[in-house]
Amino acid sequence: MPRPRVVLLHGLWMHAPAMQWFASRLRRDGFDVMPMGYFSVLESTESAVARIVRTLDRQPGTHLVGHSLGGLMAVQAAARSRVGRVVCLGSPLAGSQAADGVASRVPGGRSLIGQHRELLLRGAGALPSGIEVGMVAGTLPRGLGGAIARLPSPHDGTVALAETRIPGLAAHVVVAASHTGLIFSREAASHAACFLRGGRFTEMAALAAIA
């Protein structure tokens, strides 16, 4: 029986290798995983999403897991292709105060945020109809984003918990991890695998993270 396919999408200022640890955990849980790169600063949102969609179209039903900006990209791509389920890791689906803070308060901040600034500021909007989207959010406040944007607590150092909640999510779960720490969290990986298999998070996923 073929292993379910998953495309992993990294976040801002990262590249595909950043998701290798997370990929290894999903492979251990029985998935065929492909970390996919895009240019998180220099490439337009339309160009990046179009490339993701072309990859998804080659194997309909592929699942998506995206960290931070990658989750926003995953939602955009899911609206344009026949995908399985989508898991977002700390993605600011309601818009990013930290991105706004960097763009407006840090010298050269608009260039640092790059071509996906509009997507980061506005968030996902309405989630695509008929697609199950789950969110794994962190609450360990380690990161400069919290200081620059004065994020409301709880937050993961970059994204406030409130920014990870929008109407239409199939499930939402919280883990004790920072924003970057989400892609190295056993608990987050186990929750992601659980949602990809069945469309929900369970306590058993948290227990599996200890193994």
Paired strand residues for 137: 174
How does pLDDT run across 59-94, given as a tens digit for each residue?
A: 999 999 999 999 999 999 999 999 999 999 999 999
What's residue 146's pLDDT?
66
Please list the ranges in the chain whose pLDDT falls under 50. Answer: 206-211
What's residue 149's pLDDT?
73
Q: Which class is domain 5-208?
A: alpha beta
Q: What is the DSSP string of 22-55?
A: HHHHHHHTT-EEEEE---TTTS-HHHHHHHHHHH
Would you list the domain boundaries of the chain?
5-208
What's residue 210's pLDDT?
43
The encoded tokens of residue 65 equal 């897991």
What's residue 203's pLDDT?
58
What's residue 148's pLDDT?
75
What burial class does residue 162 get, using C-beta atoms within 10 Å of its C-beta: 0-12 exposed, 13-18 middle, 19+ buried?
A: middle
How does pLDDT run across 166-192, given as a tens digit for each residue?
A: 999 999 999 999 999 999 999 999 999
Residue 74 · residue 66 · CB < 8 Å: yes
What burial class does residue 31 get, using C-beta atoms within 10 Å of its C-beta: 0-12 exposed, 13-18 middle, 19+ buried?
A: buried
